[in-house]
Each structure stands twice: as structure tokens, then as C-alpha cells.
Amino acid sequence: MVSAFKNRFVGYLWIVIISAAGAWAQVGPACQISGIVRDSSGAPVQGAKVMLVDKAGHVSASQVTSPTGAYAFAKVVCSDWQVKSERTGYRPYAVGNVHLTTGQKAAVDLVLEPLAGAAAGHTTDQNSLNSVEFYQASPLRADEVVGAVDPAGYSSPGDSNTTAMLLGGAAALRQNSAGTLPNPDSQASHGEQDIYDRGAKLLARHDVAGALEIFKTGLAQYPNSTDLQIGLGIALYLSGQYYEAVRSLIQATDIDPKACRPYLFLADISGTSPNESAAVAERLKRFYELYPQDARAVFYFALSRWRQMANAGTNDGWDEIEGLLKNSIALDPKFPDAHLQLGSLYTNQSRFPEAIEQYRQTIALNPSSAAAHYKLGQVLERTGHGKEAEREFKISSSLRGQSEAAQ
């Protein structure tokens, strides 16, 4: 109790210090924003930073969550806000379009996904989409549609260094001896390649501000560079500018619509900017139409359709989404994320035996998936298999602890 009070007090004191002339400078009844920050398994996240961001993109107030994951902004200007949360070892998350009128109270819960390292793989031909066997073995993250879509990571050959940087904070950025760009299909000029390498090295040293400047300067010289646009998007993401990061990666897909890498990165971070969901959906549909025989393209299009259906508040579309996920599995039976999502779909439809089968297949392909063990435990508990469920929950908790310790 004392510890919880102390944490809340420190949080409120910090708000007062940084926000005296910001969100609290108003006349009339104030608004309130409060909620709970949880991880992807539903457990509360203590010590997460929660920020209120105004229309101009400025952080007007921030505080840390209590041991129960709770936060509360008691006196907020009644306006439009974005609520962001971040914590070391977790993927940042944001909820936009929080509109408050006079005296209104808003409950905004956030979900942070624990980060995990990539599981290395191989490919027989780096220029062939269908031969990809490099998977991102991470727990699913909760997207803007809470309780519905939890997109998982999936990496392409040649992207392992940049993906690790994106998910793990740039520490694992690989510099190969030839100094070439990580895109095997890149036609970059020497000057463009040099700029990219300089920006990548700055990110590897955690100099995100320097990398931002390098990539922006490079794009002024090479405005049609897909690689530099991706680099800028990653740097923006690591600096906490999630809306701008998504916009940068959207632009990267438009520079060269047939390049796969921008779509993969865009799909991976799209949940951090719900306001761009329509634009992201349009690009992922294009990715699918360009590569209908690629498991990743089909998978991400399925998740995009799921989000659209949930946002529209309709149940008309489940058969299409199920078919797409099954198609993704048929194209690549070793793709654990597709099995996991199909299990989630079956769970939502109370098709528990089928859900259990998909979760078990996920675990067989990726035993370190904390989300798969947790979701399997939930279904086992609901179907009267309490002891088995308890075992799965313990495994999930242990895997989450290992992931956090590795950060």
C-alpha cells in the first residue's frame, strides 16, 4: 500500500513539475483520463510511462504506472488527446482520438507487448518470397482492436539486422563486411548507400537524433530511396514518433510498390498509430494483390481485414478471414503466427477444440511463444481442464520472465 501510494505520488509530482503551464492551464471543469496498462497476457505493467500528447504532437503530461498498472490524469484540458505508453523491454503502444468535452471522464486502457529476440532461420534464395524461412518468434502484440487482432512479427531474409534493431532498440544492428545495404534487391547508388550505412551506424550506437538527421538529409538528396525512407521510419519509431514512423513507411511502400520490406515493417508497427489504419489497410491489400502466393502477404491482409471488420462493428467477414489464414498456413505450414491467429479466431467463435489444435501447432513450431501458451491455457480453463491450464499459464509466465530478463 505504501509503495503504491509512493509511486502514484511521484507520478503526480512529476506531472505538476512538467505540466504547470500545459494541460492544466484552463478555466472551467477539467476532464480526466485514467486506465490500466497491461501486457499481452493481461498482467499489469508497473513502472510504465504514460504520456498525454496534444494535436501538435507535444507531450503535455506524463507519469508512471502503479504496481497495479494504473494511471490517472486528474485535471486535463478538455480537448483531443493521444495516450501513449512505453516501458523498457516492451513495444510502445498508443491510442489516438481521445475526445473529451467539458467535465468528461475517459477510461483508456493500454496493452504493451514484451519484446523478444528473433529466431534465426535461412532461405535458399534471398530473391524468392516463397522460400523465406526466417521467422520472428515474439509474443503477439495487442493492436488497436483490443481483444481481436494481435499481429505478430514475421521477418524476411536480409532484414534480420534491421528487424532486430526495430524490435530491440538498435543494439543488434548488423554491419556486414561488405558494407552493403540489407536489401538484396537494392539498386542504391554509392552515395545513397553511404548515407544509409552512416544512419544505421548511428542507430547502432543509440544516437537516434543523429540518425534522424542523416536520413532526412539523405532523402533530400535521394527522395525516391526506399531504403532511406525505411531507415527514417525506423528512426522515427525508436524516437517515439509513431504516427510519423507509420507515415514514413507508408511512403516507402509507395516509392517502390513491389518492394516487400516496407510492407513488412509497416505491418509490424502499424498498431502504434490507429489513426492511419485505413491507409495501412490499403497498402497491405496491395501487398496481398502483388504477392498472393506469399504467406506473409496473405497473413497481414487477413489481419487487416480483421481490423476493418472490428472497426465497422460487424460480424460479416469471418469466413473470409478464416480462409485467408488457412491459405497462409497452406503456403507456409511452418508459419507459427498464422496458426496462432487462427486459434484466436476459433476462440472468438467458441470453436474450442479447433482453437486448442491451432495453439498446440503454434507451440510445436515455436515453443517459446508465451502468448500461445497463455491463450491455450485460457481455452483449457474454459473447457474444464484446470490442471492443464495451470501448467500452460506457468509456462507462459516463465517465458515472459525470461524475455524481460534478456532485455
Domain boundaries, the chain: 2-114, 129-406
Give the per-residue pLDDT at 190: 62
Flag residues of the chain having pLDDT under 50.
1-28, 116-188
The cell for 86 is 512505453
Q: Which three cell numbers stand for residue 310?
A: 472490428
Fold of 2-114: Immunoglobulin-like (2.60.40)
Contacts of 290 (CB under 8 A, 6+ apart): 257, 258, 297
Q: Which CATH number fits domain 129-406: 1.25.40.10, 1.10.10.10, 3.40.50.800, 3.40.50.410?
A: 1.25.40.10
Q: Which three cell numbers stand for residue 110?
A: 493500454
pLDDT of residue 405: 57
Q: What is the largest CA-CA distance in the chain?
A: 66
How far apart are alpha carbons 133 and 75 in whole angstroms? Answer: 51
Chain CA centroid to CA 402, Å: 20
Amino acid at 13: L
Q: In the prediction, which pLDDT does 29 show?
A: 65
Cell numbers for 206, please give them: 543509440
Instruction: Give the whole-angstrom CA distance, residue 215 versus residue 195.
Output: 7
Q: 2-114 with 129-406: one CATH topology?
A: no
Contacts for 285-294 with beta carbons within 8 Å, 24 or more apart?
286/253, 286/257, 287/253, 287/260, 287/263, 290/257, 290/258, 291/129, 291/260, 293/129, 293/130, 293/331, 294/129, 294/130, 294/132, 294/260, 294/331
Phi, psi of 314 (to 5 degrees): -125, 155
Can you give the pLDDT at residue 202? 85
